[in-house]
Amino acid sequence: MRIIPLLALAAVHTAQAAVFTLDLSGLPSQSALDGVRGWVQSESNFVDGEVYPRAFVHPIGATSGVALGGYYDSEPAAAPSGITITQYPVLLGLSESRMELNFAIQDSITTYADSFPGDVDRNRFSIGYVNSAGSELFSLVFVPNSQSTDPSAELSATWNMHWSTGGVMSATAFGAVFEGSQTLGGLYAMTVVTKASAIPGGVDFQLSVAGGGATASTSGLLAGSSADQIAGIQLGWRESGTEVGGLGSNFLAVGGITYGVPEPSGLMLCLVSVLPFVLRRKRLGV
């Protein structure tokens, strides 16, 4: 009879063996990231006497994170297919992974007086996993709910959240996040867990986003298989298809990235070591 409470207690939580943790220590804020610490950018930085990076170091919460988008604006405009920045830290089985991070979609039009007045649209952003060929395994996608000639005047603007796998985005949103400014909020926490499915060879995912006093969550089946491996973390920035003038002046900031393999907690391991002793006591009638 003593075994049941132990089992219930041990199931409270699991730990995570981290195989990658974002480390941007020592890098100055707003410095370019292309080619730094293993980050690979799909489009070259705009250079006109000085470097205007597509992706850069930016404070998020209490740490420094990766930012991608229109902080310095997007001149010259990139192709509508967008820009990605990817880091390939280590191979990890898709059928057993957990990633945690913090993110914010922020407005940049108020930061630089020389921002191009035509680029005030809101764009689409994404955070996700890719395989070694750079193909999407899973992403959280942010689609702007509205456009404006002056995004900086609408800090209540929202991005609808969708999930995407194998290049196909979910038809309906499962939640929304609010735009922040350089100094105002907009910080969210994301957790995604992938695991082997009951369908042979399949992989399930569980996704949750918490912030602003609420949590939105969803789950589903990935297009990938349990034989696939996660090779990289990728952030994306592209036109949403509803802009007036093209790539705009918001950016996605992501920090505190850590991912790895869920593993039994110390309590569970303790249970495993104690269980044979408990069962032996039962057999002896103690």
| Three state DSSP letters for the chain | CCHHHHHHHHCCCEEEEEEEECCCCCCCCCCECCCCCCEEECCCCEECCCEECCEEEEEECCEEEEEEECCCCCCCCCCCCCEEEEECCCCEECCEEEEEEEEEEEECCCCCCCCCCCCCCCCEEEEEEECCCCCEEEEEEEEECCCCCCHHHCCCCEEEEEEEECCEECCCCCEEEECECCCCCCCEEEEEEEEECCCCCCEEEEEEEEECCEEEEEEEECCCCCCCEECEEEEEEECCCCCCCCCCCEEEEEEEEEEEEEEECHHHHHHHHHHHHHHHHHHCCC
Torsion of CA 218, 232, 93, 187, to 10 degrees: -30
Tokens 């900031």 sit at which residue?
253
Q: How far apart are CA 276 and CA 11, in angstroms?
A: 18
Cis geometry, peptide bond prior to residue 80 (ω within 30 degrees of 0) = no
Say what the pLDDT of residue 266 is. Answer: 43
Question: Model's pTM, two decimal places?
Answer: 0.82
Residue 207: predicted pLDDT: 98
CA–centroid distance for 232 within its chain:
12
Topology given in CATH for the domain delimited by 16-262:
Jelly Rolls (2.60.120)
Could you list the pLDDT tens digit for every one of the 286 residues in the chain? 333 333 333 333 456 688 899 999 899 998 999 999 999 999 888 888 888 888 999 988 888 999 998 765 555 555 556 889 999 988 999 999 999 999 999 876 544 434 444 456 788 999 999 999 999 999 999 998 877 655 555 556 789 999 999 999 999 999 999 887 554 458 999 999 999 999 999 999 999 999 988 999 999 999 999 999 999 999 999 888 776 666 667 889 999 999 998 865 443 444 344 444 444 444 445 5
Amino acid at 156: S
Q: Kindly report the three-state secondary structure assignment for every residue of 257-269.
A: EEEEEEEECHHHH
Using only C-alpha atoms, the chain has a radius of gyration, in whole angstroms, of 22
> Tell me, what's the pLDDT at 121?
73
Give the pLDDT score at 238: 85
pLDDT score recorded for residue 247: 64
Token reading at 62: 């209490």
